[in-house]
Amino acid sequence: MSILSDKVAALSVNYFGPAARKFLERQTTAHMNGIAFDDLQKNDLAELAKWINVSGSLIIDKVKAKELSDKVVSM
């Protein structure tokens, strides 16, 4: 795990609980050209934030998904 992916996962646990890492892995592999979540780079954050907002809104409150998305994109 990279330092960046660690930070994103730690932040996401507050929103997705113990399923956070699995959720993030699914977003990067399914929507971001199959990159491994552990290989996340700073230039991937905007795209990941977009998918956190889109997919997260299906699972958690839309406002919370947007809040997390905004936090991720500003990392």
- Residue ranges of alpha helices (H) inside the chain are 3-16, 20-31, 45-56, 62-73
What is the spatial distance between Cα 11 and Cα 30, in angstroms, rounded to a whole number?
21
The pLDDT value given to residue 1: 66
The pLDDT value given to residue 26: 97
Mean pLDDT (10-residue bins), the chain, 75 residues: 92 97 97 95 97 97 98 97
| pTM > 0.75 | yes
- Answer whether 19's CB lies under 8 Å from 54's CB: no
